[in-house]
Structure 1
Amino acid sequence: MPQYKTRISGGDVMVRGQLVPADVLIDGSSIVGILRPGEQADAAEVIDATGKWVLPGIIDTHAHTREPGYTHKEDFHTASRAAAVGGITTMIDMPNVEPPTDTLEQFEVKRDLAAAKSIIDWGHWAAGTDPVQVKKMAAAGATGFKIFQVSGAYPHDPRLAVNDEGRLIQVFRTISEVGLPCLLHPFNQSLFEQLSTEAFAAGKPPNWQTFSEVYTTEAIWHTAVNTLVNLQALTDVRLQVVHTHSRGSLQLLREAKERGQRVTASVDPKYYHLTRDDLARLKGRACPGGYITEDPERMAAIWQALADGTIDMIDSDHAPHTLEEIEVLDHDAWNAAMGSPQYDWQYSITLTDVSEGVLSLRRAVELLSEAPARLLGIFPRKGALLPGSDADLVLVDPRRQVVLTDEGLQTKVGWTPYIGRQVTGVVELTMLRGTTIAKDRQVLGEAGYGQYLAGVAQ
């Protein structure tokens, strides 16, 4: 009788930052050995990984599964299916649903929904709006907390916005006390509103183009992050700033890290991949991207921050809306849904950056897997391929190229903002805790297989 469950044989495995020829030995839900090629160990199943890379599964800290309340767009089952084919083995969901995840009762409802449906491991960012509820949800196992400074049409729910610095420092202090991460969408709402008024006064239409131009204005993000860095210093909250695409913001975060502040940063690929040409071609599908890529100094700052560690992780901001909802951006962007599905091809977008030489494979794995695991306090159980780690991994064909279309997607809304783009590097198998949940872009995992990741105080 074979001694072990599975052996992944003949591939190049990412081990401690190095891609090395090795076999991965799995028993139960865990990796039990990283073997030299040819080293003896019998397994009931042998997976041939010849010519493939074996990499940790993505841990995505920025998911909008839309459940409860908006399940015509997505739900825990469909989001996790899209995640599985895209190489994501863990997702942490956001609280801007209906009703919002801002009380203990709603947190428990949402956790039960996901437990029945998700095929991948998952957690919940609860809303960081009320110090009393923060303590209750932390005690009940919230993974951490999310705060929005932006306020407007869905998905930027005014009920979840905290723009007042006095209120913000109260919430920061409470989240710091419970020791969990605090994710924050930085935004100078009043400046955005003023610049919007000026754009309309200048005769610009309220469409996706004008919205993207105003929304991505450097000063809106830079001034917000300046305040956040100062409030973090007063509270020592574990602050993760999301959507860090402004040059000034990146420098502020770099300096805060040099001072020893507990700040981390993430960025989602749409900001540094979608161009003004994509806006013209795809309209609302590419909103709010486009204008950042027109600024060479800003783009250089993003790539430098990805390389030097100022940006700690790449997240997805998987935020599906129907195409009918997106079409409203053509004429009424300030009252339209904004966001795009990302999961089906999430790993391939960054693997293409690796193929093009703008990012090393080692750094890509740090950004997608290791750093998120450290943020959540679960490294090296997750985010690494080491003996004792969960067997959460992907097999990638690094040379395979695909031109992306809307065909065959697992996301419920059935479209991608990267339509027409060629990617290099395709996930051919995704494994979660030793079980294959997707193969050849077909989902094999079952609803309810995913396990909940409670918060870890640090």
Structure 2
Amino acid sequence: MDKVIKNGTIITAFDTYKGDIGIEGGKVVMIAANINSDNAEVIDASGKYVLPGALDVHTHLQMPFGGTISADSYEAGTRAAACGGVTTVFDFALQQKGDGIIQTAEGRNKLCAPKACVDYAFHVAITDLRPEVLDEFKAAVDFGISSFKVFMVYKKEGLMVDDGVMCKVLEKAKEVGAIIAVHAENPDLIDMRTEQFLKEGKTSAWYHYLSRPEFVEAEADIRAIHWAKSLNTPLYLVHLANKQGMEEVKRARDEGYEIYAETCPQYLHFTSDVYKREDGRNFVCSPPMKGQESQDALWQGIKSGDIATIATDHCPFQSYEKDWGKDDFTKIPNGCMGIENMYPYMLSEANKGRLSFNKVVELCSANPAKIYGCAPEKGTIAVGADADIVIYDPNKEFTVSKDNMHSDVDHTIWEGTKFNGYIDMTFSRGNLVFKDGEFLGKPGWGNFIKRKARV
């Protein structure tokens, strides 16, 4: 064996137990009460928790948007991921008009492969559904792309699809063993409310929230779920942030439909009050943070099992770019950071007793791996799985600052947030990539994950 992690408390989505983990060739090859560590590097995890690495299945790295490009390159974003215990990153590849699905993925892979510090995968966002693109869905699944995204919003940006296109992709995805992820907001209501606010001279970040409040997201959630139920197709709702949408997800799941809801740490920690702050523009993302009732509903959704995954929607922009909208919220690039904060935040909440550590692993690791075709290699600690492992110190106190983060962004919305417990080490396929606050990995280490079709 190459390495043995000894004396830790191993935590998966289903189990918590003391044990040693033997690693060889990037894989977990043995789990036992006491492994003979002769000739192996020994990592002592006494008093610490040993967890599977997280999967962040919703990021936008090097993404053109709002007149600029998101601030984290593939290198910076995956470096930050490693330092936050995220060992697999899913990025969105946006189809350009005239391009195919595999062509889109291969184009992004040329950018990502030389730079990725951890393993990675792609969702392809469908924006130009020509007949030949619909016919390519099966080939894309065989290629390893088993998930696609559609936007119900961003009409002016050329990303939005109409209900007819959405229904076509839902049906085709089910046929070929893929799943559709949906960004649900109502663009016409957003445009109408935005126009009215600008006419009235209401231009602060607070009006970003009021231009797309709870009911604007909820209407689109309900519509998306309606189509999925009507067609009896699986559906994955990204970045769910509102109470009514949460209630609709629960209703559909109680009726037996395969509906998955993802939410994000920013919705669980912040409310729409952040948009009243002097730096409120830094929190502008879509959907925006909502009111306290919605936040409470999301936590209840976690408790009930109706929230399936936690991801970040990591799409940060530099503060000077956010400042473009200081006097006009429509000019603020939409997106926040979180790839380095997701796992530590959720584990800290578990350390405070808000949920179990097993539930955190389920939300951040096991469920994303299962839903998106990465299991059993990812998402758990088991013999045969990739040695994507996090060692977590429940007694370490940590305060987030832009100075102790590892991305290329010049600020963080998490500034000053205190975590109870923090990550000591991250291993990506057995390779130590983070230890005691320092990134130890290298660009190009990450592998493209060819994902399996759903059955």
User: Normalising to structure 1: TM-score of the pair?
Assistant: 0.91
1:444 pairs, out of 421, 430, 440, with 440
Aligned with 1:413: secondary structure?
Answer: coil
Q: 1:416 to 1:45 in 2, by over 3 A?
A: same
Aligned with 1:160: secondary structure?
Answer: coil
The alpha-carbon deviation at position 406 of structure 1 amounts to 1.1
Aligned with 1:80: secondary structure?
Answer: helix
What code does the residue aligned with 1:61 have?
V
Written as runs of structure 1 = structure 2, the 5 A alignment for 1:420-435 is 420-435=416-431
Distance 1:291 1:173 in 2: 30
Is there any run of 5+ residues in structure 2 with no aligned partner, and where? none
The alpha-carbon deviation at position 184 of structure 1 amounts to 0.7
Contact 1:148 1:186 in 2 (8 A): yes
Is there any run of 5+ residues in structure 1 with no aligned partner, and where? none
1:145-199 deviations in Å (ceiling 9; x for gaps): 11111216xxxx722211x212221222222222112111101111222233444
Aligned with 1:399: secondary structure?
Answer: strand
Q: Which moved more, 1:243-252 or 1:305-314?
A: 243-252
The reply on whether 1:58 has 2:58 as its aligned counterpart is no
Distance 1:24 1:172 in 2: 41
Match for residue 394 of structure 1?
A: 390
Match for residue 110 of structure 1?
A: 108
2:351 pairs, out of 350, 355, 363, with 355
Match for residue 10 of structure 1?
A: 7
The alpha-carbon deviation at position 346 of structure 1 amounts to 2.5
**When the two structures are aligned, how many residues end up with a matched partner?**
446
1:455 pairs, out of 427, 451, 454, with 451
Q: Which moved more, 1:284-293 or 1:114-123?
A: 284-293
1:378-408 deviations in Å (ceiling 9; x for gaps): 2222100111111111011112112211114
Q: Which moved more, 1:192-201 or 1:170-179?
A: 192-201
Contact 1:100 1:106 in 2 (8 A): no
Q: 1:410 to 1:171 in 2, by over 3 A?
A: same
1:13-48 deviations in Å (ceiling 9; x for gaps): 114523222111111111112211x45353510001
What code does the residue aligned with 1:206 have?
T
Q: 1:371 to 1:145 in 2, by over 3 A?
A: same
Aligned with 1:95: secondary structure?
Answer: strand
Distance 1:97 1:77 in 2: 22
Contact 2:59 2:91 in 1 (8 A): yes
Q: 1:346 to 1:72 in 2, by over 3 A?
A: closer
Aligned with 1:253: secondary structure?
Answer: helix
Aligned with 2:2: secondary structure?
Answer: strand
User: Normalising to structure 2: TM-score of the pair?
Assistant: 0.91
Q: 1:325 to 1:265 in 2, by over 3 A?
A: same
Q: Which moved more, 1:99-108 or 1:444-453?
A: 99-108
Match for residue 242 of structure 1?
A: 238
Q: Which moved more, 1:320-329 or 1:63-72?
A: 63-72
The reply on whether 1:73 has 2:71 as its aligned counterpart is yes
2:250 pairs, out of 248, 254, 259, with 254
The reply on whether 1:91 has 2:89 as its aligned counterpart is yes
Match for residue 27 of structure 2?
A: 30
Aligned with 2:415: secondary structure?
Answer: coil
Distance 1:421 1:100 in 2: 45
Distance 2:311 2:223 in 1: 23
Match for residue 180 of structure 2?
A: 182
1:273 pairs, out of 263, 269, 272, with 269
Aligned with 1:407: secondary structure?
Answer: helix
1:65-98 deviations in Å (ceiling 9; x for gaps): 1157966722111111010001100011013498
Match for residue 346 of structure 1?
A: 342
Contact 1:204 1:210 in 2 (8 A): no
Distance 1:99 1:427 in 2: 42
RMSD: 2.4
The reply on whether 1:148 has 2:134 as its aligned counterpart is no
Q: 1:288 to 1:213 in 2, by over 3 A?
A: farther
Match for residue 218 of structure 1?
A: 214
Aligned with 1:60: secondary structure?
Answer: strand
The alpha-carbon deviation at position 288 of structure 1 amounts to 4.4
Distance 2:288 2:172 in 1: 37
Q: 1:358 to 1:214 in 2, by over 3 A?
A: farther
Aligned with 2:19: secondary structure?
Answer: strand
1:417-457 deviations in Å (ceiling 9; x for gaps): 11011112211111111111111222222222111122321
Distance 1:315 1:214 in 2: 24
Contact 1:87 1:347 in 2 (8 A): yes
